[in-house]
Structure 1
Amino acid sequence: MLIQLFNSINYLCLLYSTLSMIMVNSRGQVIQQAQQYQSNQQQLNQFSQQSDSDGINQIERNERQFPGIEVLQGSEPPSRPIVHWTNPLYKPYFDTLPEDRNVTAQLGKSTFLKCRIKQITDETVSWVRQKDLHIISAGPYIYTSDQRFEPKHVENTDEWYLHIKYIQTEDTGTYECQISTEPKKSLPFYLSVIEAKSEILGGPSTYYQSKDTINLTCIINQTASPPMFVYWFKDNQVLGFQSQTVNPSDSRVKVSTIKGPITISTLEIHNSRSSDSGNYSCRPVPQYADPANITVNVLNGDNPAAMQHSNHFYKSNQQFNQHTLLMVGLISSSCTWWYWITFHGVFS
C-alpha cells in the first residue's frame, strides 16, 4: 500500500516538472519572438528614414539644375515648371495696340474694349472702371447690376473683351484691364462717347421760284464711322439714297453722297414746281443721328414780295452753301488724310 502511494506521488512530481519546463520554454519563445519583432521594426524604421533622406537629396540634386531657384521641402509639386514663377520672360504681359486703347463709340450703340494678353496661364483677367474704382468683372463673373456690361473671352485666344451695350454719355472715361499677378498688372483704356448730328443747310425753311433747281445739302458729323446710306424723304416718301433715286424715270431728281469723317449728301430737283413744296428730311442709316428736316416752298410768282424774298434768300443760301461745302470738303479731306497717315505709320 505504501509502495503504491509513493509511486503516485512520484508520478505527480514528474508531471509537474514536465509542465513547468513546457511553460518556461513557451514563455521564452514568446519573449524571443517579441524581441525579434522589435528588432525588425527598428530596422524597418531605419530603412524608411534612409529612403526619405535619399529622396530629398535626389530632389535637391534635380532642382540644382535650375540655378537661383529655392526648393521648398514638403510643398506640392507645381502645375508648371517652377522656373516660370521667377523668370520674367514667362510672366504674362499686355500686347494691345495703342490705337485699340482709345475707343470712340456712338451714343446708344455698342462697343468693345479689347485687351490682348500674352503668356497668361491660370491668372484672372478683371475689368475695373477707374472713376469710381468699381470692379465690373473678374474672370467670367460680373460684379455690377448694370446688365449693359459683359466680359467676353474666346477659349484658346489671347483676347479679352468688355462689351458695353446701349452706350450712354456717362460711360465716358477710363477702364482698366487687370491681370491677377503679384503685383497686379493693369492697362488703361479710354472710352469717348459722341453724339452724331445731322443738319440740312438753310433750314428750317427755304423758298424757291417755280422752275428753279432745288438744292438741299445734308451734313452728318460726329460719327464713329460713316453711315452706310443717307436717305432723302419728302413727306415721309423716299426720294433716293446714295447716288440712286427711287423713281429712275424722274430725271429731275438727283442724289449724291460723299462719305467720310464728315458725310455730305445733296438732293437736287431740277425744273421745280409747286407740287415739290413740302417737308424734306435726310436720314443716315444706321441711324447714328436724328433725321434733319427742312420745309421747301416753291412759289409760282403770285406774290411779288414773297418772290423777292425768295430770290434774295435763294442767292444768299446758294452762296452760303457753296462756301460751306468748300470748307467742309477741305476739312473732310484733311481728316481723311490725317487718318490715313496715322494708321499707315508715315511718321513712325
Structure 2
Amino acid sequence: MKPQQPLTTVLVVIFWIVSFSTSHENDVKGSASSSSSDDQLNVAFQSSSSALRSASSDDYSSSIQQQQQPQQQQDMDESASSHSKGGSLSDATAVNLAERSPRFEDPSGHANVTVQLGDTAFLNCRVLDLQDKTQVSWVRRHEQELHLLTVGMQTYSTDSRFSLHFQHPNDWRLQIKFARPRDEGIYECQVSIHPPRIYTVRLIVAVPSVEMVDDHGRVIEEKIYKTGSTIELKCVVSKVPGPTANIMWRHGLRILNYDTSRGGISVKTDLLPYGAVSRLYIANASQRDAGNYTCNISESSWTTVVVHILNGEHPAAMQHGQSSSSERRPLVISMLVVVLASWFFMWKCSLSR
C-alpha cells in the first residue's frame, strides 16, 4: 500500500495542477470574456451615449431651431414690420415736415381782388406754419420791375396809402386806401424760404358809372319844373363789383337821404347785380328847391344835375319835367345863325355906303 501513496500523491498533485490550470484558464477566459463583454458594453455604452448625445444634440438643436425659428421669423417679421413702419414713419415724417414748412392756406397760389374806385382794397395772404426767422413780404410787379412794399410789419412804400395790417392768426393783409386805376396790377406775397414761396394777387379797380337819366334812359344835365310840382330825379349806378345801396343824394352841401327838416323828401333805391337805380322825390317844389343835385357812391364817383323851378306857364317839356337842353340846342343855333347873318348884312351895308 505504501508504494501506491506517492503515486496517488502525484496524481493528486497533477489533478490539482490540471484543475488549477483549467480553472485559471477558465478564469482567464472568463476574465477575458468578461473584459471583452465589458469592453463591448463600454463600446455599446459609448456608442449609445454618443448616439444619445448625438440624438440629444440633434433633438436639442432641432428643439432650439424650432424654438428659434418662430422667434427668428417673429424677429424678421418685426424687422420687416419695423422697416416698413420705419419707411412709413419716414414718409409720415417727411409729410409732417413738408406740412410744417411755411405754406399758403389757399392751395391755388393766386387770387383776384376787385375794389371800387376810391374804396379801400384788402389783399389777403394767409401763411401756415410760419417759422420764427421767416419773413413775409409784399412786392408789386410792374412789367419787369419789382417794387418792395412791406417786409414783416414794416412798410417801405413811399406811398402812404399802402400799409400792412396783420389779422390774427395768420393773415398778412396788405391795405391800399383810396384805390385808383393806376393801382391795378399784380401783387406778390413772398415767404423768405429757399426757394421763396409766392402767392399772387391781381388787383382790379372798378371805375363806377354814375349817370343821371330821364324816364327814357337818356343822360341829362338839367331839368325844369314848375312851382308846386314833384321833383323826380333818377340816378343809375353800374360797373361796380356788386349791388350797392350806398348812394347819397345832396342838394348843394345838404344830404337829403336823412333830411326830415323839409318834409316831402323820399329816396327809393333798387339794387342791381352790378349797381343800383336810385330815385329822389321832392314834393311841392318851390324856388328854394332849385339848384345842383348830386348823386354819388364815393368821393370820386358822382354826377350832378341842375334843377330849375319856374313860376307860371312854361313849355310842355318843362311841365313834364323833361330835359330841355338837347331840345333847345337847335333853337339856340338858329338864333345864333340869324344874329350872325344880321350882323354880316349890316356890315356889308356899311361897307357899301
Matches within 5 A, 1:155-166: 157-166=169-178
Q: Is 1:255 the counterpart of 2:288 in the alignment?
A: no
Q: What secondary structure does 1:130 align onto?
A: strand
Moved more, 164-173 or 217-226: 217-226
Q: CA deviation at 1:181?
A: 2.6
Counterpart Cα distance in 2 of 1:247 and 1:206:
24
Q: Is 1:105 the counterpart of 2:105 in the alignment?
A: no
Q: What secondary structure does 2:315 align onto?
A: helix
Match of 1:198 among 198, 203, 210: 210
Q: CA deviation at 1:294?
A: 1.3
TM-score by length of 2: 0.54
> Counterpart of 1:264?
277
Rg (Cα) greater in structure? 2
Q: Is 1:293 the counterpart of 2:304 in the alignment?
A: yes
Structure 2: 5+ residue stretches without partners: 1-84, 215-219, 326-353
CA 1:86–1:98: 2 relative to 1, 3 Å: closer
Counterpart Cα distance in 2 of 1:189 and 1:112:
10
1:247 partner amino acid: S
Q: CA deviation at 1:259?
A: 4.1
Instruction: Report Cα offsets for 1:138-194 as digits up to 9, x if no partner.
Output: 333444433333234356x22211222333322110111122232222111011112
C-alpha RMSD of matched pairs (Å): 3.9
> Counterpart of 2:7?
none
Q: CA deviation at 1:94?
A: 1.4
- Say whether the 8 Å CA contact 1:199–1:292 is kept in structure 2: yes
Matches within 5 A, 1:53-132: 87-96=97-106, 101-122=111-132, 123-131=134-142, 132=145
Q: Is 1:234 the counterpart of 2:242 in the alignment?
A: no
TM-score by length of 1: 0.54
Counterpart Cα distance in 2 of 1:300 and 1:171:
50
Q: Is 1:246 the counterpart of 2:254 in the alignment?
A: no
Counterpart Cα distance in 1 of 2:276 and 2:121:
21
Instruction: Report Cα offsets for 1:87-142 as digits up to 9, x if no partner.
Output: 42332221138798211223343222111122222332222212222233333344
- Say whether the 8 Å CA contact 1:209–1:307 is kept in structure 2: no
> Counterpart of 2:201?
189
2:235 partner amino acid: C
> Counterpart of 1:277?
290
Counterpart Cα distance in 1 of 2:250 and 2:158:
41
Counterpart Cα distance in 1 of 2:248 and 2:161:
30
CA 1:192–1:98: 2 relative to 1, 3 Å: farther
CA 1:276–1:297: 2 relative to 1, 3 Å: same
2:198 partner amino acid: S
- Say whether the 8 Å CA contact 2:109–2:198 is kept in structure 1: no
> Counterpart of 1:178?
190
1:111 partner amino acid: A
Counterpart Cα distance in 2 of 1:228 and 1:163:
24
Counterpart Cα distance in 2 of 1:174 and 1:184:
17
2:120 partner amino acid: S
Counterpart Cα distance in 2 of 1:146 and 1:159:
22
CA 1:188–1:274: 2 relative to 1, 3 Å: same
Q: What secondary structure does 1:89 align onto?
A: helix
- Say whether the 8 Å CA contact 2:118–2:300 is kept in structure 1: no
Structure 1: 5+ residue stretches without partners: 1-64, 71-82, 318-348
Q: What secondary structure does 1:166 align onto?
A: coil
Counterpart Cα distance in 1 of 2:108 and 2:261:
47
Counterpart Cα distance in 2 of 1:301 and 1:186:
70
> Counterpart of 1:308?
316
Match of 2:225 among 203, 208, 227: 208
Q: What secondary structure does 1:115 align onto?
A: coil
CA 1:98–1:199: 2 relative to 1, 3 Å: farther
Q: What secondary structure does 1:101 align onto?
A: strand
**Greater fraction of residues in helix:** 2
Counterpart Cα distance in 2 of 1:301 and 1:214:
16
How many percent of aligned residue pairs carry the same amino acid? 28
Counterpart Cα distance in 2 of 1:235 and 1:110:
27
Counterpart Cα distance in 2 of 1:149 and 1:165:
7
1:278 partner amino acid: G
Counterpart Cα distance in 2 of 1:138 and 1:84:
30
